[in-house]
Amino acid sequence: MSVINEFRTRSFEDVRGALIAREEIALVDVREEDPHARSHPLFAANLPLSRLELDAPVRLPRVAVPIVVFDAGEGLAERAARRLTEVGYTDVALLDGGLQGWREAGGELFQDVNVPSKAFGELVESVRHTPSLSAPQVQALLDHEADVVVLDARRFDEYQTMNIPGSISVPGAELVLRARQLAPNPATRIIVNCAGRTRSIIGAQSLINAGVPNPVVALRNGTIGWTLAGQALAHGSSRRFEPVVDDALRLAAADAARVVADRAKVGRTSRDEARRWADEAVRSVYRFDVRTPEEYEAGHVPGFRSAPGGQLVQETDMFTPVRGARVILADNDGVRANMSASWLAQMNVEVYVVDGLSAADFAEKGAAPPARLAPTPPDADEITPAELRALLQSPGTVVLDFTTSANYVKRHIPGACFAIRGLLDTAVRKLPDAQRYVVTCGTSQLARFAAPELAALTGRPVQVLSGGTAAWIEAGFPVESGETRMASPRIDRYRRPYEGTDNAHEAMNAYLEWEYGLVAQLGRDGTHGFRVL
């Protein structure tokens, strides 16, 4: 162990040992998502420097959690370590040598995002031989009006973008709860799909593990496979599962889910014990409500955050970046929490399900409260949308927008420039001359943190648009769209090859080949501890 400036470093061997021993550790990649997706260690969580004050308090809930920060030599890691310390974290170190140091020490590097879950899905298929059908085989069944039902295990917004014609949106954690109602005839074949492979495999295997009597298969390679086969997808569909589940069916699903959770050695806890664990702050504790976002907003257990079970299993690196943390799940049906927990347990996560909840426990409504560590944004000189609009009638004012590039391209204030906060020192060189700056983002939350940094870099007055671009739009003022005045490159989000409808076939094929190779990569890495029932 050595020290760089005021921060100590932790070696590859040290970090790897902690992962294998299931010690608490957060290995944090502070680059933007696109460079992160191109190369990173298996359990590295992406928390970009640009949003660190907003994201870290939610994703790293304990001040004393051991954090190891790295970049690829861009100079972001030390800045991030300093910022984390200012927020209140007490055990922050740098990865010795950064990404290059990990590689040179013999560490395995992975591509893409949500890699632990995707690699685990491939391992599940290799061990359990999860049955699947190709896109042409499924198309033939549909063409012949066979007794089949196609259930799409993705988020509803993904389903609406493109879906298998005639399919129904049933996000992953809902499958075991809803399948018997959606396919009451046990002879009906259930086909589970997603965009690629992981959620198809996990969804189909969930139904098999839970003993659903129907024949169950995954759609091999999801909508990617469908597209590569030259078959047409539907767009804008709205078919969703019915919200009501017959009591007898729900109880049968709950019994089956509990059996699966017990086989996976899922822990049990109570509402009061879960709260006590979180308050003790001697371990990192994540408490999640795994029902739908709509159910969560209508009423949830205080202290629990929304994490729909299918996405939680799919995005463990996003929801639970502290490896070795304690994860606690809740629902009101005994199905979704147990099934989600059964997968997390197989992924070497210490996971518990809350037993004994009553309707009265789901007393808190709306969004989750701010995280305990959430820092107070710096004081700012604010300007209203109307004042900004008047100011823009004459030259001298430059608007800088720190929202995501996707949001910026969709709509932004006319004349505004896009910038990534972590790259601000290079972005300012591309900005037009200004007498003053006005900074914005979706809500002004991130812009408040960027304002003093911009002022320090330029020596010019900086104001924050009150309420952000959302307030500008609400005031009825005009917006424009497109990739105009991009002072920073669009590296804040990695373009997934399975997203959208305009991906190149070469990229789709390469993505599938990459997924097929993940089991071998897991073997070379050796830190995962996954076990498949």
Residue showing tokens 């992924």 = 347
- Residue 371, domain member (yes or no): no
Q: Are 287 and 325 within one domain?
A: yes
Q: Are 10 and 47 within one domain?
A: yes
| pLDDT at 1 (0 to 100) | 47
Q: Mention every residue, 6+ apart, whose C-beta is less than 8 A from residue 71.
A: 29, 30, 31, 77, 80, 98, 99
Beta bridge mates, 27: 68
- Residue 196, domain member (yes or no): yes
- Residue 94, domain member (yes or no): yes
| pLDDT at 504 (0 to 100) | 80
| Cα→Cα distances 115→30, 59, 121, 193, Å | 17, 17, 10, 19
Q: Are 390 and 340 within one domain?
A: no
- Cβ(293)–Cβ(304) under 8 Å? no
- Residue 448, domain member (yes or no): yes
Say how far apart CA 8 and CA 2 lie, in whole Å.
5
Show the 3-state SS of 6-66: CEEEECHHHHHHHHHCCCCEEEEECCCHHHHHHCECCCCEECCHHHHHHHHHHHCCCCCCC
Say how far apart CA 503 and CA 228 lie, in whole Å.
11
Q: Are 81 and 126 within one domain?
A: no
- State pTM to two decimals: 0.95
| pLDDT at 500 (0 to 100) | 66
Q: Are 202 and 273 within one domain?
A: no
Radius of gyration of the chain from its Cα atoms, rounded to whole angstroms = 24
Q: Are 137 and 84 within one domain?
A: no
Question: What six digits make up the tokens of 530?
Answer: 């996954």
How many independent structural domains does the chain possess?
4
Q: Where a domain ends, among 112, 136, 158?
A: 112
- Residue 516, domain member (yes or no): no
Give 137-182 pLDDT, tens digit per residue.
999 999 999 999 999 999 999 999 999 999 999 999 999 999 999 9
- Find the domain containing 134 and state its range: 119-241
Q: Are 227 and 299 within one domain?
A: no
| pLDDT at 507 (0 to 100) | 87
Mean pLDDT of the chain: 96
- Residue 246, domain member (yes or no): no
Closest CA to 401 of 475, 492, 474, 500: 492
Q: Are 7 and 108 within one domain?
A: yes
Work out the number of other CB atoms within 10 angstroms of the CB of residue 319: 19
Q: Are 387 and 356 within one domain?
A: no
CA angle 56, 61, 62 (to 5 degrees): 115
Q: Where a domain ends, among 300, 326, 361?
A: 361
| pLDDT at 3 (0 to 100) | 47
| pLDDT at 501 (0 to 100) | 65
Q: Which residues of the chain have a pLDDT value below 50?
A: 1, 3-4
> Cα dihedral angle (128, 129, 130, 136), rounded to 10 degrees?
170
Q: Where a domain ends, among 330, 361, 392?
A: 361
Beta bridge mates, 465: 383
CATH of the domain at 158: 3.40.250.10
- Residue 154, domain member (yes or no): yes
Q: Are 93 and 11 within one domain?
A: yes
Question: What six digits make up the tokens of 372?
Answer: 């305990």
Q: Are 18 and 93 within one domain?
A: yes
Q: Are 226 and 286 within one domain?
A: no
- Residue 525, domain member (yes or no): no
